[in-house]
Amino acid sequence: MKTLKDAKVGSTVTVARLNGTGALKRRIMDMGVTKGTDIYVRKVAPLGDPIEVTIRGYELSIRKADAEMIELA
């Protein structure tokens, strides 16, 4: 399955599923990343970490390790 880590800059993707358990999954959900949410990938840092996205009208920087837990539709 494709994850947010694999998404290209400038693309808009939709969250299909969140992997992970417990506090880690809760932290991602608290940032507004839930099933069915659209995410616009704004840019990626030169070394690939973090990834800057726009979600629910605000900008968010997310680590590559966390982005791997977000599966896309």
CATH assignment of the domain containing 65: 2.30.30.90
pTM of the full predicted structure?
0.86
pLDDT tier for residue 47 given thresholds of 50, 70 and 90: confident
Query: Which residue range(s) make up the domain with 68?
Result: 4-72
Q: What's the pLDDT at 61?
A: 94
**How much is the pLDDT for 20?**
86
Count how many domains the chain has: 1
Residue 19 to residues 3, 7, 9, 47: CA-CA distances in angstroms?
10, 17, 22, 24
